[in-house]
């Protein structure tokens, strides 16, 4: 069930991104932000490359954090981590009690995703998780010529879009996700790389 949010400028958001795929254990980093301005904490965990443990690992990381009582939104950079470790955003919302927003830089190519899944075990399970994530909507942030796309669970789409717009303070990407990406890639590769 989606609930309506009173969105404050300093809403507490946990942005989560993964690192480069250089081993079987993939580092994930959570950047805990007040709105799109203040980094208040960092957390990390590991999940399995192309595994099915991502939802549980993220829920465990969130619930074991001292910041857990303050987190109002979990923001994910896409629905797959560590290759094709697919995150069940409905179950993540149910397990943590926190609404989830998934952000994508481009509209997904479902034919390519389906082809990639055909090489992995549990294809149908992964596909079902992706389909359960629901409708994808376009959101304009800083650069209206390059919109982002979102899915969400536990929050109305309009509220999710407003939170994405509010927190995209430095680029088209919300600051909690941008910083999580910089930290994760910087730790694993020695310096940050890729789109942040």
pTM (2 d.p.): 0.94
Domain ranges for the chain: 12-189
R_g over Cα of the chain: 15
Token pair in block for residue 4: 């309506």
Q: For 12-189, CATH number?
A: 3.30.2170.10
d(CA 58, CA 41): 16
Burial class from Cβ neighbours inside 10 Å (0-12, 13-18, 19+) for residue 116 reads middle
Among the residues of 98-192, which ranges form H helices?
110-117, 123-132, 157-167, 175-189
Pairing mode, strands 85-86 and 80-81: antiparallel
Per-residue pLDDT of the chain (196 residues; tens, 9 = 90+): 555 567 888 999 999 999 988 899 999 999 999 999 999 999 999 999 999 999 999 999 999 999 999 999 999 999 999 999 999 999 999 999 999 999 999 999 999 999 999 999 999 999 999 999 999 999 999 888 899 999 999 999 999 999 999 999 999 999 999 999 999 999 988 888 766 5
Quickly tell me which residue has 């009582």 as its tokens: 69
């Amino acid at each position: 069930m989606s609930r309506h949010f009173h969105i404050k400028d300093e809403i507490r958001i946990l942005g989560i991104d993964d690192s480069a795929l250089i081993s079987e254990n993939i580092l994930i980093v959570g950047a805990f932000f007040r709105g799109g301005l203040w980094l208040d904490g960092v957390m990390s965990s590991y999940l399995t490359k192309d595994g099915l443990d991502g939802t549980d690992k993220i829920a465990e990381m969130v619930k074991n954090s001292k910041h857990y009582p303050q987190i109002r939104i979990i923001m994910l950079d896409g629905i797959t981590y560590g290759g094709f470790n697919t995150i069940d955003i409905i179950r993540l919302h149910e397990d943590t009690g926190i609404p989830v927003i998934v952000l994508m830089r481009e509209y997904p190519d479902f034919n390519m995703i389906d082809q990639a899944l055909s090489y992995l075990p549990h294809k149908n399970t992964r596909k079902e998780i992706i389909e359960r994530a629901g409708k994808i909507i376009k959101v304009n942030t800083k650069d209206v010529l390059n919109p982002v796309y979102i899915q969400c669970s536990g929050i109305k789409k309009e509220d999710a879009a407003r939170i994405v717009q509010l927190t995209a303070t430095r680029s088209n990407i919300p600051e909690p996700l941008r910083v999580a990406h910089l930290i994760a890639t910087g730790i694993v590769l020695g310096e940050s790389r890729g789109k942040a």
